[in-house]
Each structure stands twice: as C-alpha cells, then as structure tokens.
Structure 1
Amino acid sequence: MTIELRVLRPSEWDDWYGKLILAFGGVPEAPQERELWDALTEHERSIGAWDGDDCVGTAGAFSFGVSVPGGAMVPAAGVTMVSVAATHRRRGVLTSMMRRQLDDVRELGEPLALLTASEPGIYGRFGYGIATQQMSAEIDTLRTRIKAPEGADEVRLRFAKVADVAQECEAVYVRSIGSRPGMLARRPGWERLPLLDPPADRDGASPMLCVVAERAGEIVGFVRFHNKPAWGAGGPNGSIVLRHIEALDPVTYAVLWRFLFDIDLTDKVVARNRPVDDPLLHLVSDPRRCEARVRDGMFVRLVDVGAALEARTYQKPVDVVFDVEDTFCPWNAGRWRLTGDGKGASCKRTPVGTSADLALSVRELGAAYLGGVSLAALAGAGRVRELRQGALSGASVAFASDVAPWLPHGF
C-alpha cells in the first residue's frame, strides 16, 4: 500500500507517540513525562507516515535558537521523535520524512537543523555532522579533592525545594546560554524538562535534591542531584548522581562541585553529560580519578549554507571559497565564498568559473560549524580536500571556538 505522509493532527498524538515508544522498545514512560512531551509537541511541525489506518513512521521538530560562535542565537529546527515501525523498514519511510522535514525547515527560513541520534550511523547520509561531544565521568571523591578557591567564603549554599527555586534556576540557565556554542534557547514550557523526576527512573536513588548558591542574597548558581545510598563490608559507599549544575562565575562553580564531593556517606559523583573541556578537569587534584569518557552529542545540518555561515563569527579573518557537495538538499550545492572575522561574516555564491579553495560535503560543514571539530581533523580523515595550499590551515583556525560546544540536554 502507498505510505501517506501528513502533518500530525492533535487527535492522532496518542497513537503517533505510542508508535514512537514501541519503536524504542515499548517500555511505557511515566505519566508526567508523557504529558510533558504531549504539551511540548509542535503538531504543525510533526509528521506521521500512515499505511492505511496504521501509523508506521514519526518525525517532529522543535523551534529553538542555538548559540553559535560569536554569541548569536540562530533559529534552528530540533529534529526529534524519529522512528519507523519494524514492519516497514527499508521502504523509504525515513528518507521521505527527512526529505519533507528539511523542505519545511527551509520554507520556515531556519538555517540549521539539529538532532541527537540513537544510532550515529543513520543521519550522515542526510547531511548531518557530529558537531558536539559530551563527557561522562565517575569521580572517586575519596581520592581526589577540590581546593577551596579564593572568594569561596562569599558564596552561601542552602538546600531548597526543587519547585520553589525553579524560576530562579531557569534564570541562571538562561544567562548561561551564550557562554558556549550549542546551547539552546527554548520556548516557554521547556523549563519543566529538567524538573522531571519519575520514581521509576531513579534506580534506587533519592528524589531530586537542589542546592542553590547565593552571593549578596542573589542566586548565582545551583546544582540538582540524587543521592544513591549504599553500604558495603567496609562501610558506606554511596553515589551522588548529578542532574544539572550551573553557575554564573568560576568561584561559584568550584564551590558547588566541592559541595558534591564532600557529601557524607558517599565516595563517588556520577556525571553523564558535561562539556569535554569542563573546568572540573582543572579543579580536581587527580583528573585520572574522574574516569572521563567522551561520546557524540549533537548533530548539525546546514539547511541554508549562506545564512548559516553568515550567522556566526570567526576566530581570525577568513576568505575562502568552499566547493560544497549536498545531494540531499541540492540548493546548497556549489561554490560559496566566505569572508569574515570576529565582527561578522558574508557568505555568497561565487561567479561561474571561480576557483575553489576547499572541497567538502555539507556534512563536514555541519560538523565544523560550532567550532568543536576542526576542518584540519576532517581533512586528516579524507573528508575535506585542500585545493589551494594554505587554505585549510587558515579556515580551520578561523572556525574554532574558545570553548567546546555543548548540548546540555536532549530533546
């Protein structure tokens, strides 16, 4: 039968979302989590693939702004809830949804599409490149310490009920968004996401706890976490499971981490998503005891090459012509001249016959876009070709970011 793609009707959400859950293993979510995703779903940006009366494919998008090098917030589609029924694989359902979705993103005038992938090998063929990484750590707090930084005595810590300080903590997060490329500006309602705390997801740990940091009566940082008690033959060996830590200055950040390290009856802090250049690695007395591991984070897809490259700034003056391959979004294919510096940029199509300096696909541009993956590294993998001697080094430095890009939460 013919597969029909159509925009999701609100009355179809339960069936549509149920098929998504089935594709990801069929384990029901907690009612409060399901209710939140229902509230956040942008129905007009969600697609269902239907085989008769059966929903056999899902795909959605959230409307975000994403911080880019230079501090600008660029409109972006947060691609989400993508699934294909196991009964309908290898029939072009995913490709047709990706096609429809990117056409819609272009029509809306968003230069970028973003996603996190359950399987990283899926999305490269649609032009998405891995642009951020995330670090996980299991920190032995008995064998490594954090020294109190100068000014620590000015920071006051206190426990607070999560709901009572939710607004103040969200304000700290919002003030932090521009500090790193890859962070998201969100629509109202998203402030509920970090507050979700279903008992079934705690794995024996406590309900979510919150400690706020104050200076002169103002909340300047916070940490949300779970305490997972445990006892062995030698005594207590509990764990602290970090949910979210944010601070407006380095001293407050160090004080919050020191607090986590010093909680009684525990000997480990577990953090699952931190920036790969987290200052924590330079605060601890023994970084080996952090057992840091790195994995892929957010994928970026340039939907409009010119607008995307003009939206960010560059570490040093750059003047380079890219020969861009983009078979899935052919309006991007061809030669583009990028000129820019730390104040702004221009990226326009070149006249016919203009020589190119670097050749690459839109996937590589997406990977390098936020400054966390160097064009030189991609060239070392054979994914960027230097056509003019010296062009690669200059462009690679120009695209870099002072701090690693980071996606603080999924979507």
Structure 2
Amino acid sequence: MTIELRALDPAEWDEWYGTLVVAFGGIPDAPEEVELWRELIDPGRSIAGWDGARCVAATSTFAFRLSVPGGAVVPAAGVTGVGVLGTHRRRGILTSMMRRQLDGLREQGMPLAVLTASEPAIYGRFGYGIATMALSAEIDTARVRLDVPPGTDDVRLRYVTVKDSLAACEELYARLVPHRPGMLARQPGWDRFVTADPESYRDGASPLQCVLAERDGELVGYARYRVSMKSGATGVDGSVSLSDLDAVDPAASAALWRYLFGIDLTQVVKVQDRPVDDPVQHLVSDVRRCGMRLQDRLHLRLVEVGAALEARTYAAPVDVVFEVEDAFCPWNAGRWRLTGDAKGASCVRTEDPAELALSVRELGAAYLGGVTLASLAGAGRVRELRAGALAEASTAFGSDSAPWLPHGF
C-alpha cells in the first residue's frame, strides 16, 4: 500500500477533519467547535495521508510557547489531531507522519514538541515522555469542609458573564504563566477555545458560568464552572463541574473554592486537570472523601537536546555529561555536557566520559521538573556512571511548583 503524505491543502480541510472525526469514533463535533478548529489549525503545519483520492491519516501542530523552569516561555510545537483510519492501521503510517513532523520541526528550529495522548502507550517510541500529571477529584461537599487562610474574608466575589469577564481573566492568566512550568502562553483565538460552550460539552449541565475574586477593586482570581441539577425522591441532587480556577494568592484561591463548595442545592464539586500540588488538598477537612486521582497529561519531547536544555534554568548548580539515546531522532544521540544554575545554562557536545545514561524519553519526562531523574533511575530508566551525578542532576532539574498543563489542544 502506497500512502502519500503531504502538507494539507486548505481546500481539503473538510475531508482532513472528517478523517479525524472517524478515527476518533465517528461522533460529529458541534458546528461551532468545527469552526473554531478551522480558525486555529494552520494547514501549512498540517499533514494529510492519502490513499489515492481518500484522506486516511492526519496530524497537525500549533506554534505554542510553553513556560519552563526559571520562568522563560519557550517555543514548542503542540502536536494535535493525530489519527489514522482503522482500515489503514498497522501499516507504518503513524510512524511516517511522526518522522516527517519531527524532521520539519527541526528545520523550523523548534526545540520542543508536546502533546496530550488519547492512548498514553503510543508516543514513547517516538521519544515523548510524560512530563506532567493532572489531578482529578469528586469532592463530597456535604461532608468535607474547608479551613481557609487569613485574608479570605477580604476577597470580594462577583458573578459575571463569561464573555464580559474574558479579557480580564486572560490578563490574569498571562501573569501566572511564567510562575509555573508547563503552562501555555495563549495565542490569539485560544481564549475562545478555553471558554467554548457548545451543548455537547455540558452533559445536561448549565452553560459556563464565571465568578471573579477581587480585592480593593483589583482582580485576584476567577473560577469558571457548570452546575448540574437532578431531582430525585430525596430532593435535588446537584453538582458543580469546575472548568477553570486561577488565583494570584492563597486567600483568593480559598475564597473561590469556598464559593464552589457552597453553591445551593449541590453536594459534589467535580474537578479535572488541576495541578498535582493544588492547594485545595491542604484546605479540605477529609481528603479521603475527595476521590482524588492522577492521570498523565502533557507528553514532551526534546526535538533539539542542546537548545532545549539551555532554554531553562536549574534549581541547583549542575555539571553533568549525559549519554543520550535517541533512535528516532539520531541527531540528538551521543554525549552532551550540561552546565547550569538558576541564572542560565549551556549544553554542548562533548567527548568527555558519560556520567548519566538515559534516552531522550527520560529527558522529556524530567524536563519540566515534575518527574525526578532519581525516580526514573529507580525504574532502571537512568543509569548512573559517576557516583553523585544522579543526585546532582535530579536536584537541579527540580521545580518549586509542579508543572501543569491547564487545558488541552
């Protein structure tokens, strides 16, 4: 079977997108969702696979900027829309698309590639490591109470429409991006993505609602959420589904959580895709009744090892030689000396003896500071070749804040 891979012609967009819909189960998207994707997806960054006149495979990338340890916001390709029709699977099409895509990203000088995976087992063979996890919870607010910090009562809450508050919320979000690795500096149009509200998103719940947290007239936080009300023999069984919650300080965050816990006629707050160090875990009276669980979120690949490792800073001084294995992108393979600290870093080719051996997948997992090199070594994925090198590098790669991807793509 001969499959032709080529850049997407804008005139073929509908068929290309239809291929993705079929590859992901055939459930059509809401018209407004389709139009939004049409605006956000750049055909010039998209690949289509053709079997004759039929599009059978698709993928694309977004030109993102991703926050990394140290506060820099670094160019990163957001891989999206990866699909192959079931009739054409296990013929090497996905591998061919990943090959073409990564070669193109290297030509563009893109140091990083990131994605969220519908099936996490797929992308490790292409050098992607799981760099962030996400916290989900179903909190029994009828039994769980909050112990809020001083200053919470000084925060004023105000109900507003999502549309009217969007510009102010985006300004606050942008202020937070450099302070936590893994966040995306939102490009034009992405504010519409995070507030998209078609009926298919609601599962019977309300339209998206928004509450602002203010102190002395200044915005210090916001929460967007939906409310579901179901009547039963014992009365109304309501729940709150949190979409977004961002705040600049503990009191603002606590005020918003307290509001969500206290919405009338609700007994559950449902939470998805929160940072694993979300402070709500330390406010609740009974963590066992919060149903907390973790799931993989952002998968990250170093397209250019040297440029990527130089783009971030390090929590402690480090001077280590890595022996990097990268069969899929062999330009990364070999020995690299990383020297750096909290002020900056250098990563260059070297002939010096290797001190740590690992694959590019482990570097991707550890890159944002959410996975330690020591834990990967415990799984046999990193080998220490010089005594002390593992502790030195593992400490240096750390981050004070857990890396977090606030929304998918």
TM bin (shorter chain): over 0.9
Preserved CA contact (<8 Å) 1:23 1:85 = yes
Partners of 2:154 and 2:108 lie apart in 1 by 48
Residue 355 of structure 2 aligns with which residue? Answer: 357
SS of 1:230's equivalent in the other structure is: strand
Residue 19 of structure 1 aligns with which residue? Answer: 19
**Structure 1, unaligned runs of 5 or more:** none
SS of 1:294's equivalent in the other structure is: strand
Partners of 1:244 and 1:307 lie apart in 2 by 32
Q: Deviations over 1:334-378 (max 9, x none)?
A: 000001111111100003xx2100000000000000000011111
| More divergent stretch after superposition (71-80 vs 214-223) | 214-223
Displacement after TM superposition at 1:201 (Å): 2.2
SS of 1:29's equivalent in the other structure is: coil
Displacement after TM superposition at 1:394 (Å): 1.2
Q: Deviations over 1:146-204 (max 9, x none)?
A: 13432223211111111111111111111111121100013211110111111122111
Displacement after TM superposition at 1:123 (Å): 0.5
Preserved CA contact (<8 Å) 1:137 1:272 = yes
Preserved CA contact (<8 Å) 2:153 2:255 = no
SS of 2:37's equivalent in the other structure is: helix
Matches within 5 A, 1:123-272: 123-272=123-272
> What is the count of residue pairs matched by the alignment?
409
Q: Deviations over 1:281-333 (max 9, x none)?
A: 01112211211000101000000000100111111111100000001101000
TM-score w.r.t. length of structure 2: 0.98
Displacement after TM superposition at 1:19 (Å): 0.4
| Structure 2 residue identity aligned to 1:200 | S
Q: Deviations over 1:211-265 (max 9, x none)?
A: 1111222222111111101233333321001011111111111000000001111
Displacement after TM superposition at 1:79 (Å): 0.4
Residue 325 of structure 1 aligns with which residue? Answer: 325
SS of 1:103's equivalent in the other structure is: helix
Partners of 2:185 and 2:47 lie apart in 1 by 23
Aligned with residue 371 of structure 2, among 349, 370, 373 = 373
User: CA-atom RMSD, angstroms?
Assistant: 1.0
Q: Deviations over 1:63-86 (max 9, x none)?
A: 011001101011000000000111
Displacement after TM superposition at 1:62 (Å): 0.2
Residue 400 of structure 1 aligns with which residue? Answer: 398
Displacement after TM superposition at 1:279 (Å): 0.5
SS of 1:165's equivalent in the other structure is: helix
Moved over 2 A (4+): 230-237
Matches within 5 A, 1:287-298: 287-298=287-298
Partners of 2:250 and 2:105 lie apart in 1 by 38
Preserved CA contact (<8 Å) 2:5 2:48 = yes
Identity of aligned residues (%): 65
Matches within 5 A, 1:27-176: 27-176=27-176
Partners of 2:364 and 2:148 lie apart in 1 by 40
Displacement after TM superposition at 1:389 (Å): 1.2
Preserved CA contact (<8 Å) 1:313 1:344 = yes
Aligned with residue 384 of structure 1, among 382, 385, 408 = 382
